[in-house]
Amino acid sequence: MIVFKDKLTIEETKVVEDFFISAKNYHNIQHFNFPINDENSSVNRLFILKFDADKNLIGYGAILFSSFSLFRYYKIAKIIFGPVCLSLTIENEFANEIISELKRNKRIIKIEIQRNLIEPVEWDYLPKLKEKHKATLLIPLNSSIQEIYNNFATVLKKNLKSAKNKGIEIILLQNNDTHQVEEFVATYHAMCLSREIVLSNDNYIQSICNFIIKSERGFILVAKLDGKIVGGGIFFINSKICSYYVGAAAPEFRKIPISHAVLYDAIMRAKALNLDFFDLGGYELNTDPKQQSFHINQFKIQFSNQLYVYEKVIDLVISPFIYNSLNSISTFLRKVKKRF
């Protein structure tokens, strides 16, 4: 039996978290996403829960619904996470059930599925990548720390030395570090306000921190200067990959390379855990120097220039005639709009 829910109760969230923790070796290797209610998320997101005959949770996933271009009546369903299951057999069964259920809704004309398997590509292939592709930068951890460090950009090595000379200390948060988690969340919030960006609200970041500490599916680092938290980062461990999720740096210490030091410490910890890769948390395609994502790319590429691309989204068109007709009309209307 599968159940669709637009929001999980506190009890359901705990059940899903416990299940997710028990599924440490689940088959599917995906980009990170976690079973926590995101209060900042769209109301069009649904959680999917699969139960066995004894009402035990055996599968979990999430779907995001979006309107089709100019025709808002019709919807596109994107499976943004999962299904996470304890075995490949259950996973395949769950996926088929989700697709069958979505097909019942006449307003859904397309289902997007992304398994997020990754493969390396050469940089000259970058112009060929479309919006459907997602990319990231990976650092293979099969070399020594010294060899990994040697491959860093020269400017990064200088910044790491600068952070050390200025007294930046990196600390791993533990189970009883509630106050420091709150300080980290406050630093994150201050950074977002200063840069006029909204990534995730405080409650969600707090929930992510609590989940990681409880589940040991990653770790949280904070950067201290003279005993005060001035930055940090959240890192997920999924299969044999450590992924950078979000970082924070106090705006009043912007000139100190805090994030550089945090990431380097995280890379060393991932290496010590015998993981295969360190994922720098995405590489935005098709950016220009006016966008903040361009500068984030430039920061990340100092650590690694090994570009990897996630498997392209698979489009499962439910109503080919309606889908193709709406596409043609949308294209025509955009051309008319450009003329005027």
> Is the domain of 13 the same as that of 107?
yes
For residue 31, list its beta bridge partners: none
SS3 string of 111-178?
Answer: EEECCCCEEECCHHHHHHCCCCCCEEEEEECCCCHHHHHHCCCHHHHHHHHHHHHCCCEEEECCCCCH
Residues 221-226 have a mean pLDDT of: 94
- Which pLDDT does position 130 carry in this prediction? 55
Given a cut of 80, is residue 120 above it in pLDDT? no
pTM score, whole prediction: 0.71
What mean pLDDT, rounded, does the chain reach?
80
pLDDT tens sequence across 39-90: 444 447 788 888 988 988 888 888 888 777 667 788 888 887 777 777 778 8
pLDDT at residue 30 is higher than 50: no
Q: Is the pLDDT of residue 240 over 60?
A: yes
Two structure tokens written together for 105: 């809704």
Looking at the structure, do residues 141 and 286 belong to the same domain, yes or no?
A: yes
Phi and psi at 123, nearest 5°, equal -65, -30
Number of domains the chain is built from: 2
Same domain (yes/no): 237, 329: no
- Return the top range by mean pLDDT from 89-93, 153-157, 336-340: 153-157
Provide the CATH number for the domain around residue 332. Answer: 3.40.630
Containing structural domain, residue 142: 119-310
pLDDT digits (tens, 9 = 90+) for 281-300: 888 877 778 777 888 889 99
- The helix-helix angle for 202-215 and 178-195 (nearest 10°) equals 140
For residue 2, with 0-12 CB atoms within 10 Å meaning exposed, 13-18 middle and 19 or more buried, which class applies? middle
The pLDDT-based confidence of 28 (bands split at 50, 70, 90) is very low
- Same domain as 264, residue 161: yes
- Hey, what are 219's tokens? 């770790």
Q: Are 182 and 194 contained in the same domain?
A: yes
Q: Are 303 and 327 in the same domain? A: no
Q: What is the predicted pLDDT for the residue at 39?
A: 45
Same domain, yes or no, for 193 and 221?
Answer: yes
| Residue whose entry in the numeric block shows the structure tokens 């999924």 | 238
